[in-house]
Amino acid sequence: MLLDTYGRVATDLRVSLTDRCNLRCTYCMPEEGLQWLAKPELLTDDEIVRLVRIAVDELGVEEVRFTGGEPLLRPGLVGIVERCAALPKRPKLSLTTNGIGLERTAPALRDAGLDRVNVSLDTLSPDVFQRMTRRKRHADVLRGLAAAQDAGLTPVKVNSVLMPGLNDDEAPGLLAWAVAHGYELRFIEQMPLDAQHGWQRDGMITAGDILESLRTRFTLTPEGEDERGSAPAERWVVDGGPHRVGVIASVTRPFCRACDRTRLTADGQVRTCLFATEESDLRGALRDGASDDEIAARWRLAMWGKKAGAGIDDPSFVQPDRPMSAIGG
């Protein structure tokens, strides 16, 4: 198992398949994009599947989430999903995507064995979408969401980040839309993971702000800690149910004590936390001919050193050098 010194056990693996993205969200990267990883630096399809197999067979991982960058840009995505779904100890398989291209690929991903998707959508306005992402692709995301639901990749979860002066008034409208379409909406506080290092706590839209806004239109009943478990989102029942809304308050209400995640970057580095400033190299071990047992031992050692918390509230907190697109959000 992947145990740390605080008694937490990682059973949820997040795998970044690429650092590339076809959007330029203002809270993630600059308009001109970033210096992408060269192809030889990326894990190959075989290497990804091998690491997932080791995580599942030897380290107790039960859930695998494929992320990016934008994972739909990975040419071998469907094959990776299919091979992971065929593992003897089959993990639950999900995908976090911006939804562009999902209309075309949702049926193939379902047939390959994907269980469900999370789709990022921060606004119902095409104009605001363009301002936030610097791309005119709002309609593509909506079609991708519908296609995912039609394909049975459910529950379809929608992730939204609210930004001051852009979409900070949209929380009630987003929830009404999600309820009408049968999507599960989750608001995520903006985190200090932007490539520009422009994040500032002052002025950010907090979980408290979001809930106050939602309660102007809806009755929200806390779901309770027993239901939450190790999930990052606190959830509320909307107007008596059955719909729910979640808030991931990584900044103002950290959930580090219940964290059960381990992360693998597109270039084969283990990260114990989104906000970690250190990584442990598995790609080098793979390419040097290490055995499965040796790789598992390296992974255990990396997770054993996981810190107690992200440390965002600590005055000494240092934002990671690598942005969200490089480490898998």
- Known binding residues for S-adenosyl-L-methionine: 27, 69, 120, 191
Starting at the edge strand that comes first in sequence, how are the strands of the sheet with 220-222 ordered? Answer: 220-222, 234-238, 244-248, 184-188, 157-160, 116-120, 92-97, 63-67, 12-16, 261-264, 269-271, 280-281
Size (the chain), residues: 329
Q: Apex CA 63: angle with CA 23 and CA 240, to 5°?
A: 80
Cβ neighbours for 67, distance < 8 A, ≥ 6 positions apart: 14, 15, 16, 17, 95, 96, 328, 329
- Specify the amino acid at residue 227: E
State the binding site.
14, 21, 25, 27-28, 65, 69, 96, 120, 157, 191, 256, 259, 261-263, 273
**Cβ pair 32, 81 in contact under 8 A:** no
Q: Apex CA 96: angle with CA 77 and CA 252, to 5°?
A: 155
**Cβ pair 259, 250 in contact under 8 A:** no
State the binding site for [4Fe-4S] cluster.
21, 25, 28, 256, 259, 273
State the binding site for GTP.
14, 65, 96, 157, 261-263
